[in-house]
Structure 1
Amino acid sequence: MKQYDVVIAGGAMVGACLAIALDELTQHQLHIAVVEAVATDDQQHPGYDARSIALSHGSSRLLDSIQLWPALAKVATAIKHIHVSDRGHAGMVELSAQQLAVDALGYVIELAAAGEIFHHQLATRPQIDLFCPAKVEDIERTQSEALIRLNTGKRLRTKLVVAADGALSHCCDLLHIGRNEHDFEQVAIIANVTTAEPHQGQAFERFTQHGPVALLPMSQGRSSLVWCVEPQQQARIMALSETQFLAELQTVFGWRLGALTLVGERHCYPLILRQAQRLVSHRTAVIGNAAQTLHPIAGQGFNLGLRDVMTLAEEIAAGVARGADIGLPTVLGRYRERRLPDRQATVAMTAGLVSLFANNNPALVAGRNLGLMTMSLSNTLQAPLLRRAMGQVKR
């Protein structure tokens, strides 16, 4: 039975980030295990599939603090301009990196490219052991430690278990950490598209009566599409030919990037807000999508998860520095207290935007468009939204 200081269940971006952050912030003092169910070089790895993620400006700075950003920057596409609009109405907001005197408002990274970088990091850090492919099959907690059994037969002992194994966390289920769910009654269709006009680093969020449509700038002139539709539209839209799909998307999105010319493989998934009922338990912490899974509106999911990672890593490093047992409430309680306000505010913002822009009540339509137009003229009104969008959030 191997002894570890921390065992992280889940080795995609959030779990890998935590392992690296712990290694960096404790100056390689901890022995860390990462348990990942799917081989990271598997093209079907759900954490490193065809999707892209939007990284806020603040997230890039957090990644830089743990020596990850230089490698990720090479596969990142800068977001120089954000255009937010409501289809069929006049209200809109435009934000630019130039007006805010920053290099970029954020970045877009393909998960497959990120996967290679994280896998290399995990494989080359002596204090991190990667068990992959392997699954956590059982967790037994005593007062002084947690005992973990993997499906490979290996057994691990640790002071702290971290659940970073995604929205339907098996670890949370094993530990009886419940989750609350809210179905947005929308489905996200994701794909990569090519446009006739170069995107020039522009990101678009367009609200329609059925849900938001986002196009984020990618490498090679492509854009990453997230198209939210009603569930009853899913089968029809997924069955469209490429030409039909592009024509329907063109009608919804408009012509701001000229004609939509190509679309890659399409994927879809239901949009459900999931929140773990507890962020900590005895010798357990919950982070990333295991802690909360958000609607993709405003691209907050990974950025919120990364703030979980960095806060937990900071509290563990502080505990190590003072000789504390990192699995006890003296350490984990601080993580929970620091994360709750940001978590609640980000969930409220994303869920609120979905409700506001999916509602066709004439009074709400008029109000939100007046709000968008007013916000476009007022730096004071823009500021709170902008701070959260750029990841400039207190942890």
Structure 2
Amino acid sequence: MFVNALKSRCLATKSFASFRQFSSTRSSLQNALQYDVTIIGAGIAGSSLACALKSQEIFKNLKVAIVDPAPIKKIAEWNPPLDSFSNRTVQITNATQRFLKRVWDSVFQERIQSYSKVVVSDFLGKSSVKFDDSVGTGNDSAAFLIENINLTSGCAKILTQTENSNVDVYTAKVEEISHYDASSETTVPPSEFSPKTQIYPQLSLSDNSCIRTRLLIGTDGANSVVRKFANISHSVYPYEQSGLVACAMFSELNNTAYQRFLPTGPIVFLPHPNGFANLIWSIDNNVLSKLKNVSDETFVTLVNMAFRLRSYSDLEYILNSINEDGSIPENFDLDKELEWCKRLSLDPSSQSSNPNEPISLPPLVKSITKGSRQSFPYRLSNASTYYSHRIALVGDAAHTMHPLAGMGFNSGVYDIIELCKYISKAISNGEDIGSTEYVLKPYNSARYAADVALQSYVDELWHLFRSKNPIITTGRGIAMRLLDKFPLIKSQVVKQIMY
């Protein structure tokens, strides 16, 4: 009776009821809990997905679980400091912000910086492109900078609201994932697994809970256990480069984002409110240890110089002069070098191949928050597919890219938007929300090509700006100057990416 109810294509609400009835009878003997959707990973991607499944009317009858060892209830109570910002942030596009509207209403608004002004410059090409309010759409900002913790805290506030909630939060680790055959009430060994309608993912958690689910979604990052369980192959290409991040304090207020492409990798300032900024310096691993070991004061000096030096040989000379332990040789006057750079900054045209079009420079950094300097490796990765039997991969569990375009999290949100769309269609049509035909294949078709295209674009951009070939650097300079002269083209670029 219950098996037939599971197999039948009836109205969504009826199929949910039948599914749970099956759980409450046969499965209760093994203390198993049955869910329609189970999300593994409560980072910004997983929490955002859970909030979408909780807040949208079409999903109100879904029973959802989100599992993560991090204490979501404690994250909901995050009380931000008044004198600093986190060094881990995400750039949110206008399109992403609209999708996260309910979450947006739950975050600390005073810690979000909206911006449309961006200056992208090329060290060797001596050229720049300026994006400003004129290339946006009306009064909307093109982008927003928000701390990861602010966003996850906003999600956690929604997820821990218990009134009329269809989402259960499990603070636990996933100990094991297996396949459960509802027809025989047995666990299926991997060697005997075949994708049958009545086989469901089953999770054993560290709090002794057992969960069975119609749809298992992996939002558990680049080292996804869900992807490994699904036996989905995963290609990884290290960049041999890392991101060195810090929370910086400018000498003056600023609401413009700055990115300068250096041969060693791009350096970026993304604005926070009140004169703070998120610094991301993409640097080759063979130089990384030096920049991690220098004092905060020396690091601030190097950051200011990285935006103001006009010769790559000067930058190489300075970086090579620093000892591996981060110390500065006695005969090397770094402060004198900075003063020279400051004098150059009074004549910004020295940074440009065209004296009539000087490159805008960011304000000087006066300090960084103590302990905020950290690094993380870059890699390009992609799963061979974003789905398996009753399993979907979202965000970093499916794909990662170089962060130079600030699109990593946004591409994960676009995954969420598409997956929610097909789950919604399945509900409306009375189909199984874990169906390969109606949900998982269409989701994979919608996102796989788009993610690969974005990854390829970002990767080509990284290689292009990394080149020191004079022909390529000259071509880059010409292309950037031409782009800067055509506001309509810039506007289309911004709208395509951000809106």
TM-score normalised by L of structure 2: 0.74
Q: Distance in 2 between the 1:182 and 1:108 partners?
A: 28
4+ residue segments displaced more than 3 Å? 40-43
**CA spacing shift, 1:382–1:136, aligned 2, 3 Å:** farther
Query: Residues 337-360 of structure 1: CA distance to partner in whole angstroms, max 9, x if unpaired?
Result: 111232122111111111111111
For 1:170 and 1:102, locate their aligned partners in 2 and report how far apart those are by CA, in whole Å.
43
Of residues 123, 135, 157, the one that matches 2:174 is 135
Matches of 1:209 and 1:9, distance apart in 2: 39
SS in 2 for 1:306: helix
Q: Which structure features the higher share of strand residues?
A: 1
Q: Is the 8 A contact 2:249 2:276 kept in 1?
A: yes
Native 8 Å contact 1:39 1:132 kept in 2: yes
Partner of 2:415, secondary structure, is: helix
Aligned positions of 1:23-172 closer than 5 A:
23-25=54-56, 26-40=58-72, 41=74, 50-64=87-101, 67-72=102-107, 74=109, 75-100=111-136, 101-125=138-162, 126-140=165-179, 142=181, 143=196, 144=198, 145-172=200-227
Tell me which amino acid in the other structure corresponds to 1:232: N
Distance 1:358 1:79, change over 3 A: same
Given the superposition, is the C-alpha separation of residues 165 and 136 from structure 1 closer, same or farther in structure 2, using an over 3 Å criterion?
A: farther
Q: Which deviates further from its counterpart, 378-387 or 164-173?
A: 378-387
Q: Is the 8 A contact 1:76 1:107 kept in 2?
A: yes
Q: Contact conserved, 1:215 with 1:223, CA < 8 A, in 2?
A: yes
Task: Tell me the CA shift for residue 137 of structure 1.
Answer: 2.4
The 8 Å contact of residues 194 and 260 in structure 1, kept in 2 or not, is answered as yes
Amino acid at match of 2:167: I
For the residue of structure 1 that corresponds to 2:105, the secondary structure is: helix
Aligned-pair distance for 1:388?
Answer: 4.2
The one-letter code of the counterpart of 2:307 is F
* Residues 193, 225 of structure 1: 8 Å contact kept: yes
User: In 1, Cα distance between the equivalents of 2:118 and 2:407?
Assistant: 15
SS in 2 for 1:55: strand
Taking only the aligned residue pairs, the percentage that are identical comes to: 24
- SS at the partner of 1:374? helix
The counterpart of 1:260, out of the listed 361, 365, 368, is 365
Residue type at the aligned position of 1:9: I
Checking the alignment, whether the CA contact within 8 Å between 1:298 and 1:389 is kept in structure 2 is no
**Aligned mates of 1:27, 1:179 — CA distance in 2:** 31
**For residue 337 of structure 1, what is the aligned residue in structure 2?**
445
Q: Is the 8 A contact 2:242 2:377 kept in 1?
A: yes
Alpha-carbon distance change, 150 to 103 in structure 1, aligned in 2, over 3 angstroms = same
CA distance in 2, matches of 1:111, 1:332: 28
The residue matched to 1:104 in structure 2 has which SS? coil
Instruction: Report the equivalent of 2:324.
Output: none
Per-residue deviation at 1:111? 1.3
- Aligned residue number for residue 333 of structure 2: none
- Gap change, CA 1:99 and 1:278, over 3 Å in 2: closer
Q: What is the alpha-carbon distance in structure 2 between the residues aligned to residue 179 and residue 296 of structure 1?
A: 19
Is the CA contact (8 Å cut-off) linking 1:35 and 1:136 kept in structure 2?
no
Q: Over alpha carbons, which structure has the higher Rg? A: 2
Q: Secondary structure at the match of 2:39?
A: strand
Structure 1 match to 2:390: 283
Post-superposition offset of 1:134 = 2.7
Q: Equivalent residues in 2 for 1:336-355 (5 A)?
A: 336-355=444-463
Structure 2 counterpart of 1:271: 378
Q: Deviations over 1:299-344 (max 9, x none)?
A: 0001000000111011101111111111111211111111123212
1:389 Cα deviation from its structure 2 partner:
3.3
CA contact (8 A) 1:9 1:136 kept: no
SS in 1 for 2:49: helix
Offset of residue 385 of structure 1: 3.4
* Unmatched tracts of structure 2, length 5 or more: 1-31, 79-84, 182-195, 309-344, 346-360
Q: For 1:313 and 1:221, how far apart are their aligned partners in 2? A: 38
